[in-house]
Amino acid sequence: MQLTREARGAHTRCAAGLSPFTRTLGTLCAIAAPALGGVLPEDRADVLWHVYKGGDITIQGPSVLVRKKVGDNLSLSANYYEDMISSASIDVKLSASPYHETRRQGSLGADYLHGKSTYSAGFITSKEPDYKANTSYFAVSQDMFGDLTTVTLGYRRGWDRVFKDRKDPVSGRIVTDSVFNNNLGHNSADHRGYSLSLSQILTRNAILGFNYELLTDQGYLANPYREIRYLSPGLGPGFTLADQVYPNTRTSYAATAQLKYYLPYRAALTGQYRYFHDTWGILAHTVELDYTQPVLRHWILDGSLRYYRQGAADFYSDLFPRANYQNFMARDRELAAFRSYTVGAGAAWQFAMPGVPSLGKNSINVRVDHLLVDYSDFRNALLVGTYGAGNEPLYKLNANIFQVFVSIWF
Amino acid sequence: MRVSPGLPSVSLTVKLMRAAAEALLLAALVGCAAPTPWVKPYEREHFADPIMSFNRDPVSSTYLQHVFETREGARGATGSVGGGCGCN
């Protein structure tokens, strides 16, 4: 525990949440999902700058995505993504110290079109000082029923290595904790994912999408920097911090249905719902509504509302009654019960590159989202001195998310 | 309270993947005698409009998804679907 207190802090995994494997899922969307059965995605380059500000955390950085056809049947894609993190979050303040660090992620993908089938494969690698993750994936899409239906099957596999950093008491430098995991210096986690997707044209104005995904994890799944707290009346602030103990396995199931409708005056309305549950006891629902409206000749405006609700994991507690209360114990707020609300708006201005006929389609885009997370059983333990252990106000997270990006079709 | 989260449902996984493969095979076989598409290719111009894409700007939607997934317990099944637009 002492090491944890002296540690540099909760790194990206603390600040940015749960398993890095989930991050790769998003990347797969960028480099794999556009590969639809029967048609290859357009040649395109995007350069994005993102900023997240909320809960005393600032995360910003670039993302560059390039996709290019080679011949008639092959499309290659590459993505570089960076998170530059500056964190003094509530978790860091409780059990560690503020920190700065960078996570870099790169990926390569290929999509091969053969008749009405598309075969996709790729590799993603992510690196930060105390976490290294590699993921490979394969998917096959098939158009059928007169191209009204597309079915996609996907598989992915991930291998992670988890390290733990600490501050050397003599030199004051940040070093890798060599005694972490019984002197091995690192821990490991493996991930597998299986997905089934379906898109179905319903009418000349409506299309339905369905995704199912099963993910399994095995290995070290906890955050080595975060800690539980348990009641200890009369001692210190009234609670004591201790290491989290996570299960070594997790299996989750998620299903999403999306319906997109083309409105008569050239606008699009999308509704979607996701159901999620896992073997840790988390049950979650996500509902989202998106509206897209082209205006004038060169503008496209977007608006979105998103509601998310989850129940707590079976082994989560904000404040355990005593030490070693149960075999698995966690206080990661991503495992707590909460509701979150997101409202977003975006605008895209489309233009032709002056003097370059081959670049006739380009866009400059901005998007702003506001996120509110309202926790039901995660308290602001930093206020224990005023309210007493277990009576602190519930924590709320307010965050603003900014994106600016340029897209070029070539 | 003792908590015992389940082991990975490997058998369930295999069953699900087998069911998915069978469904795909069945769909492919049925596709050999595919019914007449009820939305004709010339009636699908709306699906060629970028505003009807499930994932119009992958670089942006990927980032936003990353923001959510790192702050929530839920994950997966958010990959955009699409295709079947017959716009090629």
Which residues does chain A have within 8 Å of residue B42's beta carbon, measured at their own beta carbons?
none
pLDDT band at B87 (very low <50, low <70, confident <90, very high): very low
Q: What is the pLDDT of residues A18-45, one digit of tens each?
A: 455 555 555 554 555 443 447 899 999 9
Nearest-CB residue to A148 (from B24, B37, B52): B37
Which residue among A29, A204, A212 sits closest to B55, beta carbon to beta carbon?
A29
pLDDT of residue B13: 65
Q: Would you place residue A196 in the very low, low, confident or very high pLDDT band (cuts 50, 70, 90)?
A: very high
Which residues does chain B have within 8 Å of residue A207's beta carbon, measured at their own beta carbons? 47, 52, 54, 84-85
Mean pLDDT over A272-292 rounds to: 98
First to last CA, chain B: 58
A185 to chain B, closest Cα gap in Å: 25
B positions 49-68 inside 8 Å of A (CB): 49-52, 54-68
pLDDT above 60: residue A15: no
Q: How many inter-chain contacts (A to B, CB under 8 Å) are there?
A: 310
For β-strands A227-231 and A239-243, DSSP reports them as: antiparallel
Looking at residue B37, its pLDDT comes to 84
For residue B72, pLDDT over 90 is answered with yes
Residue A32 CA to residue A120 CA, distance in Å, equals 7
pLDDT of residue A92 exceeding 70, the answer is yes
The least confident of A50-59, A220-229, A270-279, B29-38 is B29-38
> Looking at residue A330, what DSSP letter applies?
B
Q: Which two tokens stand for residue A324?
A: 């070693």
Distances (CA, A) of B36 to A83, B32, B33, B41, B44: 49, 12, 9, 11, 15
pLDDT of residue A186: 82
pLDDT at A23: 52
Mean pLDDT of B55-75: 93
Confidence band (pLDDT; 50, 70, 90) for A14?
Answer: very low
> Locate tokens 């002296």: which residue?
A6
Domain ranges for chain B, please list them. Answer: 10-69
Which residue is closest to A83 within chain B, CA to CA? B63
- Evaluate if residue A267 carries a pLDDT over 60: yes
- Residue numbers in B near A131 (CB within 8 A): none
Name which of A28, A268, A405 is nearest B51 (Cβ-Cβ). Answer: A268
H or E stretch covering A122:
strand A117-128
- Place B85 in a pLDDT band, splitting at 50, 70 and 90: very low
Among A190-194, A206-210, A353-357, A360-364, which is the least confidently predicted range? A353-357
Q: Does residue A4 have a pLDDT over 50? A: no
Pairwise CB contact (< 8 Å): B63 & A50: yes
Query: In the prediction, which pLDDT does A164 show?
Result: 85
DSSP A12-80: HHHHH-S-HHHHHHHHHHHHTTT-BTTBPPPPEEEEEEEEEEETTEEEEEEEEEEEEEETTTEEEEEEE
Q: What local confidence, expressed as pLDDT, does residue A31 receive? A: 52
pLDDT at B86 over 70: no
Q: Do A186 and A180 meet the contact criterion of CB atoms below 8 Å apart? A: yes
Nearest CA in chain B to A408: B57
Nearest chain B residue (CA) to A263: B46
Nearest CA distance, A147 vs chain B (angstrom): 5
Average pLDDT (A186-206) is: 94
Please give the average per-residue pLDDT across A162-180, as a whole number.
Answer: 80
Mean of the pLDDT values across residues A173-187? 76
Give SS3 for A386: helix
Q: Do A210 and B81 touch (CB under 8 A)?
A: yes
Q: Using the beta-carbon criterion (under 8 Å), do B69 and A314 form an inter-chain contact?
A: no
Min distance B84 CA to chain A CA atoms (Å): 5
Task: List, in sequence order, every residue forming a beta bridge with A294; answer none if it has no partner.
Answer: A300
For position A173, what pLDDT does the model report?
78
Residue A61 contacts residue A79 (beta carbons within 8 Å): no
CA-CA distance, A410 to A362, in Å (whole number)? 9
Predicted confidence (pLDDT) per residue in A288-334, tens digit: 999 999 999 899 999 999 999 999 999 999 999 999 999 999 999 99
pLDDT in tens, B1-49: 444 444 445 566 667 677 777 776 776 665 555 567 889 988 999 999 9
Q: What is the pLDDT of residue A409?
A: 95
Percent of chain A with pLDDT over 70: 91
Specify the pLDDT at position B4.
46
Residue B30's pLDDT is 59
Q: Which domains does chain A have, with CATH numbers?
A: 2-409 (2.40.160)
Interchain contact B22–A (C-beta under 8 A): no
Average model confidence (pLDDT) across chain A: 89
pLDDT for A329-384, tens place per residue? 999 999 999 999 999 999 999 999 888 888 889 999 999 999 999 999 999 999 99
